[in-house]
Amino acid sequence: MDIKHLEYFTTIVENNFNLSQSAKTLLISQPGLTKFIKEFENKEDVQLFVRSKGRLVDLTPIGKEFYENALLVLTQYNKLMEDLRINKETIKGTIRVGIPPVILTVLFKKAIPQFIVQNPNIQLEIVEAGAYELQKMLLLQEIDIAFLIDPIITNNIQSKTVVEDQAVVVFNKNHRFTNYEGPISYSNLANERIILLNSTFMIHHQIKKNFQVANITPHIFFESGAWDLLASMCESLDIITILPAPIVPHYSENTLLSRPITPYFSWTVKICQLENVYHSHLVEFVEEFFIDFFKN
């Protein structure tokens, strides 16, 4: 028996066991209501109603107890649904969301406008900073939510994946890698002049670690906090950079090419909250919005 069936049962009692009137109230057929009663009593091997000459006239002792419990369940259910509707309609306030610059530029140019249009009562404050700074701000509760690149090195942070992609080697059409069809290994990069995002970006430290594991010392001669500057330099110079794959289509029309790296270089974005603290309905609502946005 589900909520709908509990409503059937209590409506019959409230209409003085008049099945015809109960069926009209419930907008179902009387034979359907009669069938429901019979099937439920047979299935549960109980008798809820006292019958006289084939008509329902009262509740049995078991039926009376069941009726009292059914009213309690329905009251709780109706309150639950009412609270849900109220929260959905009245949710408002200000929320501070931390986003690293590269993620903000690449992933959020559609997500943020859509959020603002759909939620005019919520003030979205974007804090743009590097991964380490955002993790510190999250721990100090200076921001409510942060979008961070995996791995997340700070304890007490809970996370959910929103985007799964990879980092790639980026170069111009005249570079020798244009003729490569498969993934590029770190040994292939050993003699390349490389420009990278600076140490405020998590991907910087991942790249350095991957070269170290491959026992290769890369020729890194320039670092910047602006991915568009790196892309522009690759466009005009015989150099390479390593960037998240979603960046490449955002730069310019067919001026840059990219190849995946082997071993596979994962680039995963997670939405993060501080663990073991109370999170308001507003925080949960915003988190759910962005998870659904990127899922769809």
Query: Domain map of the chain by residue range?
Result: 3-90, 93-162+269-295, 165-266
| pLDDT confidence of residue 251 | 63
Q: What pLDDT digit, counting tens, does each position of 22-56 carry?
A: 888 888 888 888 888 888 888 888 888 898 888 88
Asked if residue 85 has pLDDT above 80, the reply is no
Top CATH class of 93-162+269-295 equals: alpha beta
| pLDDT confidence of residue 86 | 56
The confidence band for 281, taking pLDDT boundaries of 50, 70 and 90, is confident
Helix axes 111-118, 281-295, angle to 10 degrees: 130
Kindly report the three-state secondary structure assignment for every residue of 18-66.
Answer: CHHHHHHHHCCCHHHHHHHHHHHHHHHCCCCEEEECCEEEEECHHHHHH
Domain 93-162+269-295 identical in fold to domain 165-266: yes
Predicted model pTM: 0.64
* Cis before 218 (ω within 30): no
| pLDDT confidence of residue 162 | 92
pLDDT, mean over the chain: 88
Nearest alpha carbon to residue 132 among 225, 200, 224, 203: 200
Mean local confidence (pLDDT), 260-287: 89
For residue 236, what are its two tokens? 């005009």
Taking domain 3-90, whether its CATH number is 3.40.50.1970 is answered by no
Asked if residue 83 has pLDDT above 70, the reply is no
Asked if residue 223 has pLDDT above 70, the reply is yes
Q: What pLDDT digit, counting tens, does each position of 169-178 carry?
A: 999 999 999 9
| pLDDT confidence of residue 176 | 93
Asked if residue 87 has pLDDT above 70, the reply is no
Mean local confidence (pLDDT), 114-141: 90
71 by Cβ neighbours in 10 Å (0-12 / 13-18 / 19+) ranks as middle
Mean local confidence (pLDDT), 218-243: 92
Taking domain 165-266, whether its CATH number is 3.40.190.290 is answered by yes
Q: What pLDDT digit, counting tens, does each position of 236-251 carry?
A: 899 999 999 988 887 6
At residue 100, φ and ψ (nearest 5 deg) are: -60, 150
At residue 16, φ and ψ (nearest 5 deg) are: 55, 40
| pLDDT confidence of residue 238 | 93
Pairing state between β 157-172 and 193-197: unpaired
Asked if residue 117 has pLDDT above 70, the reply is yes
| Alpha-carbon gap, residue 148 to 151, rounded angstroms | 8
| pLDDT confidence of residue 1 | 63
Nearest alpha carbon to residue 149 among 135, 137, 131: 131
